[in-house]
Chains A and B, each alone.
Chain A
């Protein structure tokens, strides 16, 4: 097993504010890491640097040993990176199934000219159906995305990301907005995906689920990394506790 993701020296500045300050960490293949920290710590920004959506002041990002720092987002996706959004972003003009089928067809839309000449969507639709089964929303396949409840859309995000056949799955607060039951169910689905070999980095505030399912925690506070290790040790770290207490009492573990 090797290092799948290596992130070094990430610094991001928005205007005058330093969002991330020299953050580094690495992810081994097969790991399940949760990225935690108070609101505004820079967690989403860090994920966005990894996907290439945000341009950092400085950083080195490498995927499976290959430097992807200069690559555009779509190339990183092709190299095995997938991300779900904190605020869901399904394609409103498509059905639930087609949202996933598009992603499943990622090798078909690789080359623009080839895409012009290929028409068959049946294979991708079939795979999409399977993925919708995995996340438990297969019965909604033909429905429009518009008007679906959050629980459904969150799971759609995950199915769509999986359709990319990624090596590394980045999840930005997949459980936010879900009730207790839905959250536990989606968390279990994610654990299952990880057990089958997918490397996962998850941002979550729901510390209850985080502590239950993560193997390793990386903690950010105010743009800097203040913790990195196994959950029990990290949560005992006074610096980590200080960061949480006073900022997020209501998100503390039950």
Chain B
């Protein structure tokens, strides 16, 4: 595997951690979030700054993860006050707010961001395997959540939160849990990104990034872990395949996003389910 492929693989795994986390918030628990990149950013900045201050990698990553989870809970509190469309705009606002604050703080490098982030010391291959392991753990974790009673409660909250309350589900607690878990994963991804890129700027964590992550979830099929996994790989690789027409990649991206929502809103997972169903129907009939 060449250096290029290793880097690509690393980025894919970081994206998987991001998408799987957002899938928990939006897919499992039904809380739409258009500002996931802000949590990615909090994790990245935290890890970058603590690493530069001398903290070893595991602690830097951990501090990024924990701090982001806490911020995530605070943002999650807003989801207790507002719903659906209001929540979508609020989370979008959180994303812009994060950027707005970070851009003005000299301590965080302002517009120029944070550079000279220390090396991870694992070598490119080693770091890739490390990130791959974390991505696998994140995916496994989200599958575990999905099968658990927490996942069952999430289903109810996403479906009809008022009725869930009547059935004794502590809806606010579950929403906060979803935010805490999903954003902590984003924080972890951010820390990994900081070590990977060794330079982070505010624009890395803007609205377009939030939308990119959301599209990985939506194209995969909101709520489906495997769908999200596959779509993340595809969407991350896509700009690479289209490198020869790299000028068009954002256009193709937007068009793809539009097309999937317009023609196959259940994403890859829905598409796969349709095929399986049709296969079974043929089997029964023919």
Partner-B contacts on A (CB < 8 A): 51, 53, 72-74, 77-78, 82-83, 85, 89, 91-94, 98, 102-103, 105-106, 108-110, 112, 115-119, 121, 160, 164
When chains A and B are docked, how far (Å) is the Cα of A190 from the Cα of B206? 56
User: Cα distance A108–B167 when bound, in Å?
Assistant: 12
The smallest C-beta distance from A177 to any residue of chain B, in angstroms, reads 18
**B75 near A: Cβ within 8 Å?**
no
Is B159's CB under 8 angstroms from A83's CB?
no
B130 within 8 A of A: no
- Bound-state CA distance A115–B157 (Å) is 14
Partner of B159, one of A78, A93, A117: A93
Contact A116/B165 with A91-B156, A94-B159, A109-B153 known, Cβ cut-off 8 Å? no
Instruction: Determine which of A102, A115, A117, A118 lies in contact with B167 in the assembled complex, contact meaning CB atoms within 8 Å.
Output: A102
What's the dominant secondary structure at chain B's contact region? helix
Smallest CB separation, A133 vs chain B (Å): 20
Chain B interface residue count, CB cutoff 8 Å, equals: 25
B258 at interface, CB cutoff 8 A:
no
B173 within 8 A of A: yes
Known contacts A91-B160, A93-B158: A119-B149 contact under CB 8 Å: yes
Which residues of the partner chain A approach B149 to less than 8 Å between Cβ atoms?
A: 105, 108-109, 115-116, 118-119, 121
Query: Does the CB pair A103–B167 fall under 8 Å?
Result: yes
Minimal Cβ-Cβ distance residue in A for B155: A93
B170 close to A112 (CB less than 8 A): yes
Given contacts A91-B156, A109-B169, 12 further A-B contacts (CB under 8 A): A72-B165, A77-B165, A77-B167, A85-B163, A91-B160, A92-B159, A93-B155, A94-B159, A98-B152, A102-B155, A112-B150, A115-B148
Q: Which residues of B contact A (CB under 8 A)?
A: 145, 147-150, 152-153, 155-156, 158-160, 162-171, 173-174, 177
Q: List 25 A-B contacts (CB under 8 A).
A: A53-B165, A53-B166, A73-B165, A73-B166, A77-B168, A89-B160, A94-B155, A102-B152, A102-B155, A102-B167, A103-B168, A105-B152, A108-B149, A109-B149, A109-B150, A112-B170, A112-B174, A112-B177, A115-B148, A115-B152, A116-B148, A116-B149, A116-B177, A119-B148, A119-B149
Out of B160, B162, B170, B174, which one reaches A53, CB within 8 Å? Answer: B162
Least Cβ distance of B67 to chain A in Å?
Answer: 20
List of B residues within 8 angstroms of A93 by Cβ:
155, 158-159
Residues of A within 8 A of B152 (CB): 98, 102, 105, 109, 115, 121
- By the criterion CB–CB under 8 Å, are A110 and B162 in contact? no
